[in-house]
Structure 1
Amino acid sequence: MTIMISQPPQFPSLSHIPTGGQDPPVRRCRPQNEKVVVVMGATGTGKSRLSIDLATRYRAEVINSDKIQVYEGLDIVTNKITEEECSGVPHHLLGIVNPEADFTARNFVNRASLTMNSIVGRSKLPIIAGGSNSFIEALIDDWNYDFRPRYDVCFLWVDVAMPVLHRFVSDRVDRMVAAGMVEEVRKMYKPNADYSKGIRRAIGVPEFDSYFRAEYSSSVGYKTRAKLLEQAINETKINTCKLACRQLEKIHRLRNDKRWKIHRLDATAFFQNRGHEADESWAEMVAGPGSMIVDQFLLNFGRSRTCGATTGDDRRATKRSPAMAAASLCR
C-alpha cells in the first residue's frame, strides 16, 4: 500500500541582515550541524520498511548498519533487502565486504562516516538503518570522528511485542527455508570453518554444521539426517529470538543509561493484522508518526539556521504540525 503523506516543510534560507549605521547588532550563529536519522529495532520489526517510507518522502539515502548484511552473499540467510523492495532508494554498505573478512565496528565507523559526508554533500538526508546497535553506538559516540559536534540525530525505534515478534521470526525462518536457505548455506559450507568471523557468524550458518557433516558421512542414515535438519532449523529460530532479545536490551540501555532520545514506534498491530488492515496499522502507528517526528526534527533545522528567530511562516508551520503529539504517542 502506498502511504500518502504531505510533503515536508520547506526550510527557510538564511536571512540577509544589514550592517552599518544604526542597525541592531548581528546575532552570532554557531555553525549549523547536518541532520541524520537513525532507524533502530530488533530483527524482523520492519526497520527496512520504515527507512524506505522515509527515504521516499524526503531526499534521502539509506546506510546499512547491520553487521552481517555488509557482507557479500547469503542474501536469504541475512535477509537482505531486494532491489525491488528498495523502491529506487540508494542503499550503502550493503553486501560490499568479502565474506571471509572481519568487518569491525571501527571499519563501520570509517565507512559510514565517508558515506554520510558524500550524502550530505549532495544535499540529501542520510538514514542509518539496521539492527547492530553496537555499530550505531560506536558511530554516535566516536570522539575521534566527532559525530555529535557535526551532526544532529533523530532516533526512531520500531518496536514489536516480543511474543508477537517471536512468532513472526519463527515463521520467517520457515519462509527462508522454503526460499532455498539450506542450499544457499550448503554452497559455502567448509568442514572446520571458523564461525567466529566473517559472514559465517550469521544466524543460520553454524546451526547447520552438524547436518552438513552428516551429509558427507555414508554411515549416517536418512532418518538421522532429517532429524539433524529439523534440529538446525529449530536452533536457527531459537537463536534469532535470542538475538531479538539482546537487541532490545541494548536499545533500552542506550535509552535509559545513556539517555539517548529515542522515539518508540509500536508496530505490534501491523504484525497482528493481515492485508489491508496491516497496511493501515503500519501507516497509523509507524510510518505516519515516524514521518511527523522527522518533520519536526527538520523543521527545527530550518529555524536554527536563522539563529533561533521564528518567522510567521515558521509559527504557522509549527501550529499545523502534529509532530509533538506524535512524539508523545510514541514514547
Structure 2
Amino acid sequence: MRIPMVMCKPTAQPLLHAASLVRRSNRGFYKLSPQKEKVVVILGVTGAGKSRLSIDIASHFPAEIVNSDKIQVHKGLDIVTNKITEEEQCGIPHHLLGTIPPDADFTASEFSNSALLAIESIRARGNTPVIVGGSNSYIETLIASHDYRFQSNYECCFLWVDAAMPILHSFLSKRVDKMVERGMVEEARNAFDPNGQYSRGIRRAIGLPELDLLFRTEKFLDRQAHARLLKEAMEEIKTNTCKLASRQLEKIHRLRNQKGWNLHRMDATEVFCKHGKADADEAWEELVAGPSTIIVAEFLYNVTANKATSGGLHKGLIKCRANHGSCQLQQQIISKFLQKHSRRVRGTAFDSFLRQINTYITDVH
C-alpha cells in the first residue's frame, strides 16, 4: 500500500518519555521507579498496510522503525522486494532495511541480535522502537528467545493490521501489476544469474524464481512466445504472493491462539473496498490509524482512555502533526488533554502524574 505524502513530518529532536520513569503503586499514586522499556510491534500479512501504520505511529510519537522482513533486510532489488522508498519513509530512521549483503544468509538468531542492538540504540536516544515486518519467525525469535534478553528488558504493544483474505488477494494481484509498471522485470533481469541459487539471501524473494525460465530462454523466443512466458510468470508471482499472505496469517493466528500474544486487531478490509483515494484515506484514519494511535498512547503513557475521550486525543495529535510535528508539543497535547479528562481517563492520582510529565518537559526544554 502506498503511503500518502501528507503523512510526512519534519524530523524532530528526540524527547525522553517521562512516562517511562513513573509507575503506579498499590496505594494509587505515581512514583519514580525502574520499569521495562516499551516497544511497539506491528504484525500483518504482506500488503495489509504494516509500513503505512508504522509511519503513522512514528509520525505521532518520537519513534524509529526496525524492519523485520527477512527479504527486505538485504541490499538491492528494491522494487522486487517492495521496500518502502526513501520518500515514503518521511525522514523517519529505519533500521535493518537493505543493510545485509544480497547473498548472505541472515538467520532469525542473527536478526534477533541485530534487532536488540538497534532497539537499545533507539531507546538510548529517547525514542520508541517500532518493529514492523511480515517475517513472524524473526519477530518470535526476538521476543520469545530462550535467553530472555528481550523479555527481561522490554514490554510490547502488538498491533495487527488485518483484512479479509479474498479482498487482500485482489489487492495483491493489482500490486504486482504496479510493480511491473515501476520496473520490476527489468530490475530482476539485471540481477539474473544463471548459476544463482534461489534458496539463500535475497534470491528467495518472490519474483526471481518465477522469472528464471523467461530470462534463460528469452533470446531464443519470438514476441508471442515471450509475451506468453511473461504472462505465466506474472500469474505465478501473484499466486505465490497470495500463498505467502495465507501462510503469514496462519502464523499470526498461532501467535495469538497458541502463544497467547495479546494482539490488537485492526480490520482494514473497508479501506481496500473504497474506490477513491480520499475515501480510502478517511477509512484508514477511522479504522486503523486512529484506534492504533490511541492504543499506543495508552501504552506509552500508562493511561486508559474511554471512547468519549479517545477521539479528541486523536484529533489533537493529528492537528499537532499537521502543524509542526514537534515531540514536545505532542506530549503537551497529551498531558493537557488527559488532565482535562482525568476523572474519566483514570483515578485520582492522575494529576500528580501529569505534573511530573509537564515538569520533565519544562526541564528538558
Alignment TM class, shorter chain as reference: 0.7 to 0.9
Match of 2:230 in 1: 229
Match of 1:253 in 2: 254
Conserved? CA contact 1:39–1:47, under 8 Å? yes
Q: 1 or 2, which has the higher helix percentage? A: 2
User: Pairwise mapping of residues 24-103 of structure 1 onto structure 2 (< 5 A)?
Assistant: 31-103=34-106
The letter of the residue matching 1:232 is A
RMSD: 2.5
The letter of the residue matching 1:209 is D
Match of 2:292 in 1: 290
Match of 2:19 in 1: 11
Taking the aligned partners of 1:301 and 1:316, their CA distance within structure 2 comes to 11
User: Pairwise mapping of residues 66-145 of structure 1 onto structure 2 (< 5 A)?
Assistant: 66-145=69-148
Secondary structure of 1:147's match? coil
Please point out which of 276, 279, 301 is paired with 1:277: 279
Query: What percentage of residue pairs aligned between the two structures are identical?
Result: 55
Taking the aligned partners of 1:42 and 1:283, their CA distance within structure 2 comes to 19
Match of 2:12 in 1: none
Taking the aligned partners of 2:136 and 2:237, their CA distance within structure 1 comes to 21
The letter of the residue matching 2:90 is S
Please point out which of 326, 344, 347 is paired with 1:319: 344
Shift of 1:13: 5.2
Shift of 1:317: 4.0
Encode CA deviations 1:285-306: one digit per residue, 9 max, x unaligned.
Answer: 000000111111112289xxxx
Shift of 1:111: 0.5
Match of 1:181 in 2: 184
Conserved? CA contact 1:65–1:130, under 8 Å? yes
TM-score, L = length of structure 2: 0.76
Taking the aligned partners of 1:54 and 1:297, their CA distance within structure 2 comes to 12
Conserved? CA contact 2:7–2:55, under 8 Å? no
Whether 1:159 aligns to 2:162 is: yes
Shift of 1:215: 1.7
Secondary structure of 2:109's match? helix
Match of 2:209 in 1: 206
Taking the aligned partners of 1:125 and 1:74, their CA distance within structure 2 comes to 29
The letter of the residue matching 1:290 is S
Taking the aligned partners of 1:115 and 1:32, their CA distance within structure 2 comes to 20
Taking the aligned partners of 1:12 and 1:224, their CA distance within structure 2 comes to 62
Taking the aligned partners of 1:180 and 1:72, their CA distance within structure 2 comes to 17
Query: CA 1:289–1:206 in structure 2 vs 1: closer, same or farther (change >3 Å)?
Result: same
Gaps of 5+ in 2: 9-16, 305-337, 347-365
Taking the aligned partners of 2:123 and 2:18, their CA distance within structure 1 comes to 17
Encode CA deviations 1:129-173: one digit per residue, 9 max, x unaligned.
Answer: 010000000000012252111101000000011111001010000
Gaps of 5+ in 1: 16-23, 303-312, 322-331
The letter of the residue matching 1:158 is V
Encode CA deviations 1:220-246: one digit per residue, 9 max, x unaligned.
Answer: 433222211111110000000000000
TM-score, L = length of structure 1: 0.84
More off after superposition, 225-234 vs 278-287:
225-234
Match of 1:307 in 2: none
Shift of 1:31: 3.5
Encode CA deviations 1:20-63: one digit per residue, 9 max, x unaligned.
Answer: xxxx9xx9987400000000100001100100000011010000
Shift of 1:188: 0.9
Secondary structure of 1:11's match? helix
Aligned residues: 295
